[in-house]
Amino acid sequence: MPDEDLSQKDKDELVDLLHDLKNKIDEPKEVKGEAVKRVLLWLADKSVDALIAAFPMIAVFVQSMS
């Protein structure tokens, strides 16, 4: 899916949310859960094409966690 399905603002927002989640990964379940919830709400608010375009960014994030 083309990268243009995500605006620069969308990319910046997603990166910020993923960084916040990464910083809270060792926090208690409730704190970590709120960060996950924000990412999921962001994803739920996007079009299908934008979601598909966001998956590579999310995959890189998940890889960086292992």
Percent of the chain residues past pLDDT 70, beyond the cut: 92
Looking at residue 1, what is its pLDDT? Answer: 42
The pLDDT tens digits for 4-32 are 678 899 999 999 999 999 999 899 999 98
Per-domain residue ranges of the chain: 3-65
SS3 31: helix
In the predicted structure, residue 35 carries a pLDDT above the cut 80: yes
What pLDDT is attached to residue 13? Answer: 94
Distance from C-alpha of 52 to C-alpha of 12, rounded to nearest angstrom: 16
pTM of the model: 0.77
Give the dihedral sign, CA 39/10/17/63.
positive
Residue 66 DSSP SS3:
coil
